[in-house]
Chains A and B, each alone.
Chain A
């Protein structure tokens, strides 16, 4: 009974949904398990995991970041200009740019007390303009050595993306569960006043969350730069809603204070698997939107219903 009650907690809803999907697929779509398809899933899950992990950290402190997609696009645009000169310089500049964007978001949302939704929406618009200015059309040059390293294969196994995925998970795990800052995030999101009374610097904790989010979005941009081997002002478009959706499906409370890394990972896998099976099943793009939306509403709604009980 104890086990059942633990399993029915909201963070496992994503797991059950994924399990259900896998079982259905194994019967209906044998090509789903083909090595090529599993490798495809890994390739597309990596950038979403990076963005969703950053988004989750901001959501843990009851914030939101709508500028992650624009940050990702900007990262590819910067890379398309700088990488030809020096790859390390480009990587450092992009990561610094992501952190700077996070800092601006954090200062606006925390110090100037601008609603995070409005603040990050505004930043997103500014970034879109800046990206179009420096990269008005897709293009630029990305050195082949960079592309081949990030997307390195060993036989048919994409070891480069696999390494990045593991690295992101390790960093996420370390940050959330092995550092004092991780505990502060949950404390601030759970009860800000109590966290303040406990001596936590709430403002710094929140601003840092936006900085980390910007950093992860720029990391996703570095990965996408390799995947598209160019800079593209439109490439980050769908990451905003997909990252929020993956975090929500993964069981993180949008009101802050609760959520797990594994839940977000499941959310990311579900989002990646969904698009994949819709295409394998030849589902029209319009219906794909409908089903995706219904699944997000269904899973989050079901979790909240359980919570109220």
Chain B
């Protein structure tokens, strides 16, 4: 009897919820301006800045975050910033939503966000944008929403495309037409950056050429050790490989090391500005090794902070600032490589050797 009574109440509540679902109008896609308005977010300094970043604890984000801190310290000394808060969600979109809400509760004057997912933050960022109280600047990673004050980052699709086109060119040089067998190492399947570089960037380029065969594909998780284990299997399973495409420089270095260990003839491999790869490029160039190094510069966190300050000072900025991926070629590699520093340094950085040594706890 008691169970029946409870079941009835439960049923009633459910019916009330379903019937009482309020019907909201589906919002129409709005035309958003190309530039922010003059004085739109103007406030008197000093400002409190919140930075919600997607991942800590890997060498690239360590450098990138340091660049942000140095820039913020500079503004702090000048009396423009009073406080800055950095929170990291360690790749978890639900934690990032909570992190951003906490930064809002702290009363920040501007938010800088590197999204851990291109879609998960859209409802929250849309709401902040619609309230119009503080500027929201998106940086570093692909974001599918449209409501933001500014977006500043290098183009990951372009990153994938440029490397793939370079490899197609190398294969054409070898066979007289786009043809050959290649292996591919993705980053983390499902990660926004991987989707941009591989699924939406490089893969469609290779698909245009039916005579280019992808004979092996694996996920190296942007980790040298994992990539090496995967590359060992792929290289061993394929006696004939004409080229390599990877979603990151540490993975290219892993494949190159496998080729060297197995005594295989070196082939063109798409890389990145990973210091270890640049060093080996110089070392093995004479033996026929060639690469190209698209870069995701670690200094784009400084630019994101600069834009936040411009907006708070009332200036107008272009909302969409996704810049073309810079890349290092054989002609420029000597300008970027840091021969005295370890492999894990990312070369397209504005940090000095001294700052890098201090950051990574290296003795001179």
A residues engaging B (CB < 8 A)? Answer: 31, 34, 36-37, 40, 43-44, 47, 132, 135-140, 143-145, 147-149, 151-152, 163, 167, 170-171, 174, 178-180, 224, 226-235, 237-239, 275-276, 279-280, 282, 285-286
Interface residue ranges of B82-99 to A (CB < 8 Å): 85, 87-88, 90-95, 97-99
Residues in B with CB closer than 8 Å to A47 are: 94
A151 to B124, alpha carbons, bound, how many Å?
11
Kindly identify which residue among A136, A179, A238 contacts B189, using a CB–CB cutoff of 8 Å. Answer: A136
Q: In the bound complex, do residue A163 and residue B85 qualify as a contact, i.e. CB atoms below 8 Å apart?
A: no
B105 within 8 A of A: yes
Q: In the bound complex, do residue A235 and residue B98 qualify as a contact, i.e. CB atoms below 8 Å apart?
A: no
Residues in A with CB closer than 8 Å to B122 are: 228-230
Q: In the bound complex, do residue A137 and residue B92 qualify as a contact, i.e. CB atoms below 8 Å apart?
A: no
Interface residue ranges of B44-102 to A (CB < 8 Å): 56-57, 85, 87-88, 90-95, 97-99, 101-102
Kindly identify which residue among B9, B21, B90, B106 contacts A149, using a CB–CB cutoff of 8 Å. Answer: B21
Kindly identify which residue among B24, B85, B92, B199 contacts A234, using a CB–CB cutoff of 8 Å. Answer: B92
Q: Interface size on B (CB < 8 Å)?
A: 50
Q: A228-B117, A279-B99 are in contact. Are A138 and B123 (CB under 8 A)?
A: no
A247 to B73, alpha carbons, bound, how many Å?
42
For the residues of A in contact with B, the DSSP-based class is: helix
Q: In the bound complex, do residue B87 and residue A285 qualify as a contact, i.e. CB atoms below 8 Å apart?
A: yes
B residues engaging A (CB < 8 A)? Answer: 2-3, 6, 9-10, 13, 17, 21-24, 26-27, 56-57, 85, 87-88, 90-95, 97-99, 101-107, 116-123, 144, 189-192, 194-195, 199
6 A-B contacts (beta carbon < 8 Å): A138-B192, A170-B9, A178-B3, A231-B119, A233-B190, A275-B102
Q: A143-B26, A148-B22, A285-B56 are in contact. Are A232 and B92 (CB under 8 A)?
A: no
Kindly identify which residue among B85, B101, B102, B123 contacts A229, using a CB–CB cutoff of 8 Å. Answer: B123
A202 to B189, alpha carbons, bound, how many Å?
41
Residues in A with CB closer than 8 Å to B24 are: 144-145, 148-149
Q: In the bound complex, do residue B93 and residue A138 qualify as a contact, i.e. CB atoms below 8 Å apart?
A: yes
Kindly identify which residue among A135, A147, A279, A282 contacts B123, using a CB–CB cutoff of 8 Å. Answer: A147
Residues in B with CB closer than 8 Å to A149 are: 21-22, 24
Q: In the bound complex, do residue B27 and residue A137 qualify as a contact, i.e. CB atoms below 8 Å apart?
A: no
The closest CB in chain A to the CB of B120 belongs to A228
Q: In the bound complex, do residue A238 and residue B94 qualify as a contact, i.e. CB atoms below 8 Å apart?
A: yes
